[in-house]
């Protein structure tokens, strides 16, 4: 397969060229103007951020994207689907309120904000895929009905997938609530009783986890949906993924869902390597960034884009100071080390890219074009 082109812009600015201007030039150089945008419904898939988390993309970038698409004749809208876990984005009413609190509204974003899978996460289209893991992914209707899909991705670590980039934003982010359940259906965690200290944090965040009389967490599997929230929250390895589940399997499913989102329609992707937090923007907090802000990358190939972003973070030095990697590697810059695996040893992000390449979503072979 021919190498995909991934276009890159650093973050240096001048009085005549701010980051929004640089982003627009990057988009144009990467070919966004070649999309059939006139009179199209263009879904801008973005993560609005869980309130309390400040690592999500600034709405200014989304507004410039919407303005550019509108100038090219499109009808753009910002979108995301509801979450499976309990939180402030689990239904459209709370989700829209959260988006507005984080600065995403029709005034600031210069376009409408639509929750892709409806009020309760039940509004979806099944996309026949005959995938190895997901025969018919359940994609939020507003996204499935869009003519064009544009993903805007905050590139960061992820506690189950290894990192979150274009594939995660598309595959997990565009899944309806039922689709997210399918993605996580083999992911029911368990409690390591010896490690659990009864701190209660999982109980506060999940209705499926009470404390037993010995003040140890227990999982009520009649209520557990396998979202892994308890695993991500636990700081003592008291909640762990079940032996039957793997990060690889989750990433395979994410790749198939991502293919369902873009199958048969034009698509384009842009990733921001900024505020590279260790975990997802779904949490109501964000830990300190692990590497410096590195730049903005864009491509028509989401697989190549994710691989280029991962390579760039792997080659970068860590930020020394108070972050999860620097604490354990005080005298090592970790240039060339897989920082995602260091943060989340049980994950395998490369498996997802390999599967995405196998099913024809894109290629990991890329040429980096600096503008």
Residue 187: the pLDDT is 61
* Average of per-residue pLDDT values in the chain: 93
> Do the beta carbons of residue 11 and residue 312 sit within 8 Å?
no
Q: 85 or 196: whose pLDDT is higher?
A: 196
Residue 182: the pLDDT is 87
Distance CA(11)–CA(15), nearest Å, equals 13
Distance CA(311)–CA(273), nearest Å, equals 11
Entry field: residues in the chain = 371
Residue 243: the pLDDT is 58
Identify the band that residue 308 occupies on the pLDDT scale cut at 50, 70 and 90.
very high
pLDDT tens column, 54-64: 999 999 999 99
pTM of the predicted model, to two decimals?
0.89
In the predicted model, is pLDDT for residue 7 greater than 90?
A: yes
In the predicted model, is pLDDT for residue 319 greater than 70?
A: yes
> Do the beta carbons of residue 256 and residue 360 sit within 8 Å?
no
| Extended strands (E) in the chain | 4-9, 41-45, 75-80, 112-115, 124-126, 138-140, 148-154, 156-158, 162-164, 189-191, 239-241, 267-273, 295-299, 366-370
291's enclosing H/E stretch is: none
Residue 208: the pLDDT is 87
Q: How many CA atoms are closer than 13 Å to the CA of 292, on its beta-carbon side?
A: 10
pLDDT tens column, 214-235: 999 999 988 887 766 777 678 7
In the predicted model, is pLDDT for residue 211 greater than 80?
A: yes
Residue 37: the pLDDT is 98
């Amino acid at each position: 397969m021919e190498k995909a082109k991934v276009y890159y812009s650093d973050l240096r600015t001048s009085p005549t060229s701010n980051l929004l201007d640089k982003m627009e030039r990057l988009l144009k150089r990467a070919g966004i103007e070649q999309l059939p945008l006139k009179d199209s419904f263009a879904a801008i898939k973005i993560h609005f951020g869980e309130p309390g988390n400040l690592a999500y993309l600034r709405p200014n970038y989304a507004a410039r994207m919407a303005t550019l698409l509108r100038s090219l004749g499109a009808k753009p809208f910002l979108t995301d689907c509801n979450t499976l876990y309990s939180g402030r984005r689990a239904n459209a009413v709370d989700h829209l309120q959260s988006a507005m609190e984080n600065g995403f509204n029709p005034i600031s974003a210069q376009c409408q904000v639509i929750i892709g899978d409806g009020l309760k996460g039940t509004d979806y289209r099944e996309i026949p895929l005959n995938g190895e893991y997901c025969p018919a992914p359940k994609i939020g209707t507003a996204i499935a009905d869009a003519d064009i899909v544009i993903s805007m991705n905050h590139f960061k670590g992820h506690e189950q997938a290894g990192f979150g980039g274009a594939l995660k934003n598309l595959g997990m982010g565009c899944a309806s609530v039922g689709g997210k359940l399918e993605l996580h259906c083999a992911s029911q965690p368990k409690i390591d009783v010896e490690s659990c200290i009864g701190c209660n944090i999982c109980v506060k965040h999940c209705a499926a986890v009470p404390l037993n009389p010995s003040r140890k967490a227990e999982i009520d599997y009649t209520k557990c949906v396998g979202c892994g929230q308890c695993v991500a929250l636990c700081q003592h390895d008291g909640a762990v993924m079940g032996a039957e589940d793997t990060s690889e399997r989750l990433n395979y499913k994410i790749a198939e869902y991502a293919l369902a989102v873009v199958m048969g329609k034009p698509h384009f992707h842009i990733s921001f390597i900024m505020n590279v937090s260790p975990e997802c923007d779904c949490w109501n907090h964000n830990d300190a960034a692990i590497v410096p802000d590195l730049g903005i990358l864009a491509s028509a190939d989401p697989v190549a884009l994710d691989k280029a972003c991962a390579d760039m973070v792997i080659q970068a030095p860590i930020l020394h100071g108070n972050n999860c990697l620097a604490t354990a590697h005080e005298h090592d810059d970790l240039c060339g080390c897989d920082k995602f695996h260091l943060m989340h040893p049980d994950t395998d992000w490369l498996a997802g890219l390999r599967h995405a390449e196998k099913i024809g979503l894109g290629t990991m072979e890329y040429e980096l074009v600096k503008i």
